[in-house]
């Protein structure tokens, strides 16, 4: 009976350990009265454009899609566009230079080897074998590459009836964890 009580107490002790972790991404977005919630999107719309934000993207990506509804080009001046987080304005335009490059290389080689073996008696009348080898080789190497650099655009032009995605910032790429460890 004591053995049964001991096993029951031991099993109860093991099953009463409770470790839970919950992960939340908590930020409060204060939309203006012009933003409307449509599914997972916050949407602003007027007679010229539709701007939509998907705040449920991984890491809280604050990028937005802007669709030009008009029949004329739409101009977005990034020098006058900002992402504001907790009262701190972050510029969308940073005057950067981007670069794309690619390289390729090829190497070929060839060679030839000739051997000659001579066996005979040396000065001390001992049998001796000498081997002579000659190697001749040639190689060719070719390398080529190119690079294209371009400046960041100050003004994004969105043609009529099309859209562009503007992305620069994430609200937070880190997870906030609350863990409770209990032993009862």
Q: What is the DSSP string of 58-105?
A: GGGB--EEEEE-SSS-EEEEGGG-EEEETTEEEES----EEEEEEEEE
Average of per-residue pLDDT across 17-38 = 63
Dump pLDDT digits (tens) for 108-123: 877 788 888 888 888 7
What was the pLDDT predicted at 179? 56
The terminus-to-terminus CA distance of the chain in angstroms comes to 24
Instruction: Check residue 2 and give its pLDDT.
Output: 57
Euclidean distance between CA atoms 75 and 66, whole angstroms: 11
Please check the confidence at residue 134 and state whether its pLDDT lies above 50: yes
Instruction: Label residue 161 left, alpha or beta by phi (over 0 means left) and psi (-120 to 50 means alpha).
Output: left
Residue 21 CB neighbours (<10 A)? 10
To the question of pTM greater than 0.85 for the whole model, the response is no
pLDDT for 43-66, tens place per residue? 999 999 999 988 777 666 788 999
8 Å CB contact between 66 and 158? yes
Is pLDDT above 90 for 78? yes
Residue 77 binned pLDDT confidence (cut-offs 50, 70, 90) = very high
- Between 69 and 145, residue with greater pLDDT: 69
Q: Which residues contact 7 (CB under 8 A, 6 or more apart)?
A: none
- The residue among 94, 96, 99, 93 whose CA lies nearest residue 155 is 93
pLDDT at residue 18, rounded to an integer: 53
Q: Are strands 74-77 and 64-68 parallel, antiparallel or unpaired?
A: unpaired
Residue of 29, 49, 68, 76 whose CA lies nearest to 40: 29
For residue 56, the model assigns a pLDDT of 73
């Amino acid at each position: 009976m004591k053995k049964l009580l001991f096993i029951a107490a031991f099993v109860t002790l093991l099953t009463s350990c409770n470790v839970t972790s919950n992960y939340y991404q908590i930020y409060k977005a204060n939309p203006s009265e012009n933003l409307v919630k449509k599914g997972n999107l916050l949407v602003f719309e007027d007679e010229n454009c539709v701007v939509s934000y998907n705040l449920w993207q991984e890491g809280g990506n604050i990028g937005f899609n802007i669709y030009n509804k008009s029949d004329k080009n739409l101009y977005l001046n990034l020098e006058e566009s900002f992402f504001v987080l907790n009262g701190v304005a972050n510029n969308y335009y940073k005057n950067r230079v981007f670069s794309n490059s690619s390289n390729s290389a090829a190497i070929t080689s060839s060679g030839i080897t000739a051997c000659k073996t001579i066996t005979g008696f040396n000065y001390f009348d001992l049998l001796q074998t000498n081997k002579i080898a000659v190697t001749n080789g040639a190689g060719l190497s070719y390398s080529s590459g190119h690079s294209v650099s371009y400046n960041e655009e100050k003004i994004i032009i969105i043609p009529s009836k099309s859209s562009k995605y503007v992305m620069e910032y994430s609200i937070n790429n880190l997870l906030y964890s609350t863990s409770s460890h209990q032993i009862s």
